[in-house]
Amino acid sequence: MAIDDLPRRFATVAAYNSAYPECALPMDVTVRNSQRAYHAAMVGVADDVTGTNASLTIEFLPGGAPAPGEADRVGTVVATHWGRGPLIVLAEDVSLRAAWKAVTAQFPTQLSQVCSLVMPLPRSVPVD
């Protein structure tokens, strides 16, 4: 997978939040850390796509991935450097539950693997 295959990249959280206000990443660290995100066993997902090899967190926005018993939401899946920029948009207007299930069913450790799981998800309105 090449970096050109990714939908959008933003240098800062503020730039992303300006472009995606309905799926904003919380600026407050306490709020952000309370949301369900994927960290690959707290090690982080290795960025093998952009060449940085940074450890990334996969964020499900808005509000984090729905917990069991919570209603599904349509949102955006992004990769962040532990909640900081740059942000890489991996999927837009997808079921956050479907995205969470796709990722946690495979437990990917590299960004290219996450991309292959969430980028093909259909844009949808969840029915829960």
What residue spans define the domains of the chain? 3-118
- Whether omega before 120 lies within 30 degrees of 0, making that bond cis, reads no
62: pLDDT confidence band, cut at 50, 70 and 90?
A: very high
52: pLDDT confidence band, cut at 50, 70 and 90?
A: confident
Long-range contacts of 108-113 (CB under 8 A, 24+ apart): 108/40, 108/45, 109/40, 109/43, 109/45, 109/46, 110/45, 110/46, 110/48, 111/45, 111/46, 111/47, 111/48, 111/49, 111/50, 111/56, 111/79, 112/1, 112/48, 112/49
Say what the pTM is: 0.90
